[in-house]
Structures are given as structure tokens and as C-alpha cells.
Amino acid sequence: MPANTDVTGTEALGPSGAGRDVVALLRESEARFRALAESSPLAIFVNRDDKVFLANPACVQLFGASSPEELIGKPALELFDPDSRSLVSERIRVDSETVPLVEVRIVRLDGTAVDVEATASPFLDQGVKAIQILLRDITERKQADEVLRESEDRFRYVFHHSGVAKCITRPAGEIEVNDAFLEMVGHSREELGEHGTWQQLTHPDDVARSEQVVASVISGERSSARFEKRYLRKDGSVVWADVTTALRRHSDGSPDYFMTAIIDITERKHAEQELLALTEDLARSNAELEKFAYVASHDLQEPLRMVASYVQLLQRRYQGRLDSDADEFIGFAVDGATRMQNLINDLLAYSRVGTQVEPPSLTDLETVFGDVLEMLEQTIADDGATVTHDPLPVVSCDPTQIGRVFQNLITNAVKFRGDEPPRVHVSARHGDGEWVFSVADNGIGIDPQYFDRIFIIFQRLQSRTDYSGTGMGLAICKRIIQRHGGRIWVESGPGAGSTFYFTLPDGREA
């Protein structure tokens, strides 16, 4: 209803004949207006002379009254909560234009307060300035707002108090960050300012790549992303970060903001880089050492062969022709030269495990094992040993090298015998993605404290006079098995026999 319009119009038109028709018309119009107000779901009351003049049923219900009479005549201002009264008197006035929506609080007759949205429009009622006030209960909306506010408060609390650096990023790049983030980049909130962007804090070399990731999430190619990038601290140092980011969209699908969690992995990165450098160093020095061992043993063979053959010649020609001391000395020289030849041959064999590598091929270990037994036939017969074996599988390996492993282990099993004739059993069982082989004997056994030592080059537990050998056999086995991606170990006890185990991957990529 427009402001200052007379509802009945009596005063404006006067009681003339034509006026009476008009009066009748206006009465009808007033009746229609009343009917409208009666059926309106909005609470409406009319304030005239600062008192409630009319109240529709929705208004009666809103105030918890049982009839309009309970409200009519009451000072209009008293319908409002004391806290809202000044706003009401200021905004809802008979002499003002239509009042825009205001949020106020009314007091029901039982004293409880209700949040309402109020609007009002002044008009002339039978020449008297009046104002009709429309009220809409907004309790539910207020409660929903409150729930939303509480959840936002909780969210903010979690965001700001999280130990993990977090950042809310708008699609244009502006960021809102938590304290942990500020601590990570060494900036204060003021330094970052309101319009700081993630690009400003990112290492220049990583900006383009990060932008690509952001674009791929915005385009919907993926809903979230995890990647590594570098930030720059205020002091110019680099922070390596493991970044996980997810995009929140508006209901229409447009990008709202990214929520990003950032974990400082600088220490891990440094450790990784150091480890990489160390591994490279180690590989280099290993390769150099391998080369050295090969060259040294290879080049030593030649002069040694000469020494050995001449002392052997001396022995053959002059044995018994000089005095007994000379015979003994020549004997020592021959023995020493032979031992040195054995050592050098084994050292060469050891270094060749790394240099002379055949690409793995599918190998029937029955055949390999048969060849080894044939080679050791004499030794086995001399010692009265029995060697038995379970069926052996086909695996991917270097047949020469694996043959050498069987040869060394069986030779040891026969060599380190006890009083009984040696009994050796070789078996194979399939484990988790690998074959586990074992070579078990009934020999002298090994004290567990030496389990690691015996696999080191030149390490032996017995004297040369008791058991011949160079101490290289197991070191060579270990190297071969490791190069095949397997493991080797022993189970034993003094006098209890020994079982050597080794594994080979059952895949073809050994």
C-alpha cells in the first residue's frame, strides 16, 4: 500500500451522493484488504497512535495470543524486545516511506523472544496516520545461520590451530594461510598482506609446474592433486614441500577455493640428496675397486706363474741332490707359490662375478647340478661322501655362476666333515616369489658367532693344516647370490652339521 493513502477515503472525498458510491466501493476495498490480511501467512498488525489497532490471525498466532483483542490497544513498541525498540522507533515511523526489511526481535505474550524480519508501510486510516507492520518469523533461518557460523568457527579454529601448514587459495592465487604456514615460510601475516599470492612464495622454477597442477584440477581432469614443490623462505632459503590440494566448487561448478595442506620435507629431501650422492660415490668406488682387484689379480698371475714354475722345476731337478735344508726350503717355496696362485685365482674369480656377467637365461638346475657332481666326482669318492638331492627347478639365472655356488657349498660340505662319512643333501622349495635352496651336511658345524664372518673374503675358522682353502668360497657365493637378487645364510651349531640356504627370485627378471 502506498504511503499516506487513506484506506476508506472518507475524508478525501466527502459524503456527497457520488461520494457515497465511492464510499461503498472503498468499504468493499477495505473488506477485501481485511480478507487479504486475515488469510495472509505473514503476521500483520496496524499501529495507530502508537497502539496496536488491528492484528491479523497470523499475528495473533505469532505473539501467542488467543484473540486479536489481547493485542489490540497495547502500546505497539511493547511488542518488541527492549533491545530492538530503539531500532523500531527509528525505522518504523508513520511519517517515513516504506521501511526496508529490518531484523528485530519481538516478545510474545509469554515473554519469550522471537527473531523476525519486519517491514512496514505507513498509510492514512480514516484520516489518521497509521502504519501497517508485517512480521515474518525467521527463527529457523537464524538457527541455520548459527549452525553455519558455528561450523565456520570450528573450521577456522581447526585451520588456524593445525600443526600442519595450511592455505586457502582463491583461483586467482590469493592466499589465506595459517600460523604453521607462516612459520614455515618465515613471514609475518602483515608481510604477506591481504593480497599475497602463492606465486610470490613459490620458488621461481616451480611456479609454472604448480600452475599446471592447479589448472588440471580446475579443468576437472582430477579432483585433487599431490605433488612436491619448493617455497622460498623470507631469508631466501628453500623449503621443500609435499603439497596436497583439493578444489571446492560453488554449487554451479565454478571454482571457489583450493584447500591445501603443506608438509615441510626439506630434511627428508636433503637426506635423500645426500644418500644419492653417497650411493653414487659408493658405486664409483666399488667399480674402481672391482677394476683394481681384477687388474691386480690378473697382472699378478703372470709373474707368479713364472715363480711357481721355476721353483717347481728346482724341486723336480734338485730334490735330494742338495742338503735336506735346501729340500725343505724349496718345498716351502713351492707350497707358498701354489697357495698364492690359489688366492689370486679366487680373487680373480671374485672380481669376475661383477665383471663377467652373462645375461640371465632360463636354466634347468638339474643339468647344472649334474655337471657340478660330475666335476666333483673324484673328491666325493675320495671322501666316501654321499650327495643326494630333491628335484631342482628351472629358474632364470647365470648358469655358470649358480653352478659355482653349488660347487663351493658342496665342496665345503664334504671338506668340513666330522668323523662320519660326509652326507650332503640338496633341496629346493618354492617360497613367496622365490626359490629357497639348501645344502645340508653332517659335518663339524659352525659356532653361530661366526655366521657373518665366514661370508667375508679370506675369512676362515680353521687352520690351513687342518682344512685347505683360501677363505674365498663363501664370499664368492654371497656375491653371486646378491647379484641375482637373492639372499644367503647359514644355520648351524658346533658338531651339529651345517645347512647353507640361498634364494633366487622365481621371476624371469632375476
- Return residues touching ligand ADP (CB under 6 A): 408, 412-413, 416, 441, 443-446, 454, 460-462, 469-475, 498
**Burial grade of 213 (CB within 10 A; 0-12, 13-18, 19 or more):** middle
| Residue 426 vs 472, nearer CB to ligand ADP | 472
Q: Which residues make beta-bridge pairs with 87?
A: none
Q: Cβ 297 to ligand ADP, closest distance in Å? A: 16
What is the rounded CA–CA span in Å between residue 339 and residue 305? 12
Q: Which residues make beta-bridge pairs with 224?
A: 246
Q: Cβ 505 to ligand ADP, closest distance in Å? A: 24
Q: How many CB atoms lie within 10 A of CB 475?
A: 22
Q: What is each CA distance from 105 to 75, 76, 409, 463, in whole angstroms?
A: 16, 13, 95, 104
| Residue 104 vs 413, nearer CB to ligand ADP | 413
Give the residue among 140, 231, 138, 224 at the shortest CA–CA distance from 181: 231
Instruction: Please give the DSSP secondary-structure letter assigned to residue 80.
Output: B
Q: Cβ 339 to ligand ADP, closest distance in Å? A: 11
| Residue 123 vs 455, nearer CB to ligand ADP | 455
| Residue 203 vs 460, nearer CB to ligand ADP | 460
Give the residue among 42, 50, 154, 55 at the shortest CA–CA distance from 93: 50
Grid cell listed for 35: 480478507
Element (H, E) at 120: strand 113-125
Q: Cβ 363 to ligand ADP, closest distance in Å? A: 23
With both helix axes pointing from N to C terminus, report the angle between 473-483 and 324-355 in degrees, rounded to the nearest 10. 10
| Residue 54 vs 475, nearer CB to ligand ADP | 475
Q: Cβ 464 to ligand ADP, closest distance in Å? A: 9
Q: Cβ 306 to ligand ADP, closest distance in Å? A: 25
Q: Cβ 318 to ligand ADP, closest distance in Å? A: 32
Q: Cβ 411 to ligand ADP, closest distance in Å? A: 7
Given a contact cutoff of 8 angstroms between Cβ atoms, the answer to whether 466 and 459 are in contact is no
| Residue 223 vs 449, nearer CB to ligand ADP | 449
Given a contact cutoff of 8 angstroms between Cβ atoms, the answer to whether 110 and 99 are in contact is no
The alpha-carbon radius of gyration of the chain (Å, integer) is 50
Show the DSSP H helices in 172-321 as ranges. 179-185, 189-192, 198-201, 204-218, 266-318
Given a contact cutoff of 8 angstroms between Cβ atoms, the answer to whether 76 and 52 are in contact is yes
| Residue 363 vs 470, nearer CB to ligand ADP | 470
What is the rounded CA–CA span in Å between residue 496 and residue 177? 68
| Residue 193 vs 336, nearer CB to ligand ADP | 336
Q: Cβ 503 to ligand ADP, closest distance in Å? A: 18
| Residue 292 vs 458, nearer CB to ligand ADP | 458
Q: Cβ 507 to ligand ADP, closest distance in Å? A: 29
| Residue 216 vs 462, nearer CB to ligand ADP | 462
What is the rounded CA–CA span in Å between residue 373 and residue 403? 10
Given a contact cutoff of 8 angstroms between Cβ atoms, the answer to whether 504 and 482 are in contact is no
Start-to-end C-alpha separation, the chain: 92
